[in-house]
Amino acid sequence: MSEHAAHHHETHDDGAPTGGHGTSADHHSADGTSAAHNGTEGARAAIDPAAAWDERYRTKTQLWSGNPNPQLVREAGGLKPGHALELGCGEGADAIWLAHRGWTVTAVDVSAVALERAQSHEKAVFARESVQAAEAVPASRITWQQADLEQWQPEGAFDLVTSQFLHSEELDWRLPLRTAAAAVKPGGTLLVVGHNPDRLPPWGGGHHHGDMFYKGEDLVRELSLEGPGWQVEVLTSRERPVTGPEGQQATIADVVLRATRLP
């Protein structure tokens, strides 16, 4: 994923965390999968998602690569900056990339540990750039917010709502992604990226629990995007190479949905 969050989620990044496996909202793990496992609704209810994700982040000083998710770069790179919402921001790579391009970002994750790292990363990036440009450090364009995405509701509407690799045993992806779709303002963009369940890597035996993943048609149906209020601009599955924990090579695929809410 690249890096992510929520009751939890797995989320975005270039899919290359700095070590081992992982799962969270703005990222994928080094083996090309997001941090996710199995789980029933009963199991979800017994888990404190914030505590679980905090513990996972504490296992490493950095879980994700620090790079923005490639599908975000591809799909949002040409959009006019405005107000963006990211669900499952993890260690912040996607939010920082958006802010660097002029977006004002609300970045939400379930893990306080991840958000502390994201804020530190943001300060380091902009401090470094201000030194290079001999200018004062600019005011932050990012509001970091800790919340359980199964319950959280945003205030207002956004020009861009993005969720990258929101896959987790602690979370039913349908709930936060419906929240995401509802938060897009007329004329705004919804961008959802996830692992194609038919193209997961051959390693990672815990990733066969299909209900954590979705195909493009699942997103369209569950988010009610087939109605007259939406125009689906991109609905595809894109292959990319990944390297496993033992150096294995494989090709996986990302489900990519980009839709515009019609005025």
In this structure, the number of other CB atoms found within 10 A of the CB of residue 22 comes to: 28
Between these two residues, 25 and 84, which has the higher pLDDT value? 84
* Separation of alpha carbons 236 and 256, rounded Å: 5
pLDDT, tens digit, for every residue of 24-76?
Answer: 333 433 334 444 433 345 445 567 889 988 999 999 888 877 899 999 999 99
**How far apart (Å, rounded) are the C-alpha atoms in residues 234 and 1?**
19
pLDDT: which is higher, 47 or 19: 47
Average pLDDT over residues 104-116: 97
Measured between alpha carbons, how far is 43 from 162 in angstroms, rounded to an integer? 27
pLDDT for residue 5 is more than 90: no
244 falls in which pLDDT band (50, 70, 90)? confident
Q: How far apart are CA 241 and CA 135, in angstroms?
A: 40
pLDDT at 179: 96
Comparing 99-108, 122-131, 189-198, 213-222, which segment has the lowest mean pLDDT?
A: 122-131
Q: Which two tokens stand for residue 95?
A: 């939010």
121 — pLDDT class (breaks 50, 70, 90): very high
Residue 197's SS3 state is coil
Q: What is the spatial distance between Cα 139 and Cα 13, in angstroms, rounded to a whole number? A: 24
Angle between helices 93-100 and 112-133 (to 10 degrees): 30
- Tell me what the mean pLDDT of segment 148-164 comes to: 95
- Of 35, 95, 31, 43, give the one whose Cα is nearest residue 59: 35
Residue 128 has pLDDT above 90, yes or no: no
pLDDT at 137: 55
Phi-psi region of 40 (alpha: psi -120 to 50; beta: other; left: phi over 0): beta
pLDDT one-digit tens code per residue, 246-259 = 899 999 999 999 99
Q: List CB contacts of 127: < 8 A, sequence separation 6 or more.
A: 137
Q: Which domains does the chain have, with CATH numbers?
A: 2-261 (3.40.50.150)
pLDDT of residue 245: 82
The amino acid at residue 125 is: V
Length of the chain: 263
Greater confidence, 3 or 182? 182
